A and B are shown apart, each in its own frame.
Chain A
Amino acid sequence: NAGVTQTPKFRILKIGQSMTLQCTQDMNHNYMYWYRQDPGMGLKLIYYSVGAGITDKGEVPNGYNVSRSTTEDFPLRLELAAPSQTSVYFCASNDRVDSGNTIYFGEGSWLTVV
């Protein structure tokens, strides 16, 4: 069971570079999320999606973009990376019909911007 898969696991970016964090889930979940977690802090919602073609901003969307062309994939795009975007990024998914309130998290992507 793959669950939620994120790539890459680790990445170092230079200021001003761009990159995409990939996320895919094989559970046919409608809901998908991107969170970031700064050291010693809780998770903050960046963007979420309630289904293919539908995305919406979370608490901290500035500097990021997302797309949801399929149910399985929810990539997160970082444009013009800044040191403030150094964080651990978690992709997650759930489907309230099938899994109640269990949100399945990916293993995380550690991003450092220097």
Chain B
Amino acid sequence: QKEVEQNSGPLSVPEGAIASLNCTYSDRGSQSFFWYRQYSGKSPELIMFIYSNGDKEDGRFTAQLNKASQYVSLLIRDSQPSDSATYLCAVNEDFGNEKLTFGTGTRLTIIP
């Protein structure tokens, strides 16, 4: 069974600091990787996706992928109180199949 593992947290980070969220996955054949943000009582919203090894930056967010280590991370620079949410890592086994496997999420709290 495919597994996606995340530290459930809570992770507390001071405002303005860098928040680092980590995710490991079990299926070595996984092709695409996603980070979703979910506020309490709301539906998930996509922050970033990454396919290739290395870093992908979008504003204050950077996704990092290491397929050899089966590891994907999300860095949030200049953390803001509005970044306080649960962050879900999701993995897709191939590009033609959109069945995502989600981790349990990491709860992030930004301390003002």
Contact = CB atoms under 8 A, between A and B. Distances in A.
Interface of B is mostly: strand
Given A90-B43, A102-B46, A105-B45, A31 B102 contact: no
B98 A41 contact: no
Contacts of B44: 43, 90, 105
7 closest cross-chain pairs (CB), A and B: A42-B102, A105-B43, A43-B102, A42-B104, A101-B49, A42-B103, A41-B104
Interface residues of A, number: 23
Interface in A14-51: 31, 33, 35, 40-45, 48
Interface string B32-54: 10100000001111100100000
Contacts of A102: 46
Contacts of B49: 100-101
Contact of B99 (A45, A90, A100, A108): A45
* Residue of A44, A59, A101, A102 with highest tally of chain B CB at under 10 A: A101
B4 interface: yes
Interface in B60-99: 88, 90, 92, 98-99
Contacts of A106: 43
A101 B43 CA distance: 17
Contacts of A73: none
A107 interface: yes
A106 B105 CA distance: 19
Given A45-B101, A96-B98, 8 more contacts: A33-B98, A41-B104, A43-B44, A45-B99, A101-B92, A105-B44, A107-B43, A108-B43
